[in-house]
Amino acid sequence: MSLKPFHEIAGEAPRPQFRLKDRTGREFGVIEHYETDRGRPHTHMLLEFFSPDPAVTVRPRLWVDLANWAVASGHGKHLPDADFEPGFDAYLQSFPEEERELRRERARKALRFELIRLAEQGYSIAYQEMFPGELLREDFPRIRISGTEYVVDDQYLIRPGDFRNQVTLVLVQDPPPSPDPEPALLANWLFGEGYEILQTTLDEVKAQRALQPLVENPELEKIYKERLVKMRREGTLLGVKPKPYTASAPARAPTEGNSGGTSA
Residues 65-98: tens digit of each pLDDT: 999 999 999 999 999 899 999 999 999 999 999 9
pLDDT confidence of residue 180: 85
Q: How much is the average pLDDT of 146-166?
A: 94
pLDDT confidence of residue 244: 75
What is the DSSP secondary structure assignment for residue 77, as one 8-state letter?
B
pLDDT confidence of residue 98: 97
Q: How much is the average pLDDT of 212-238?
A: 95
CB-neighbour burial class of residue 47 (10 A; exposed 0-12, middle 13-18, buried 19+): buried
Q: How far is the first Cα of the chain from the last one, in angstroms, to the nearest whole number?
A: 66
Q: Give residue 138's pLDDT band: very low, low, confident or very high (50, 70, 90).
A: very high
Assess whether pLDDT exceeds 60 at residue 35: yes
Assess whether pLDDT exceeds 70 at residue 1: no
Whole-angstrom distance, CA of residue 177 vs CA of residue 62? 44
Q: How much is the average pLDDT of 201-216?
A: 92
Assess whether pLDDT exceeds 80 at residue 250: no
Whole-angstrom distance, CA of residue 71 vs CA of residue 82? 13
Percentage of the chain beyond pLDDT 90 is: 70
Nearest residue to 3 (alpha-carbon basis) of 43, 45, 49, 39: 45
Q: Please provide the average confidence, as pLDDT, over all residues in the chain.
A: 89
Q: Give residue 248's pLDDT band: very low, low, confident or very high (50, 70, 90).
A: low
Q: Domain segments of the chain: what residues? A: 3-111, 122-237
Q: How much is the average pLDDT of 33-44?
A: 87
pLDDT confidence of residue 264: 31
Interval 179-190: pLDDT, tens: 888 999 999 999
Whole-angstrom distance, CA of residue 107 vs CA of residue 187? 34
Q: Give residue 53's pLDDT band: very low, low, confident or very high (50, 70, 90).
A: confident
Assess whether pLDDT exceeds 80 at residue 262: no
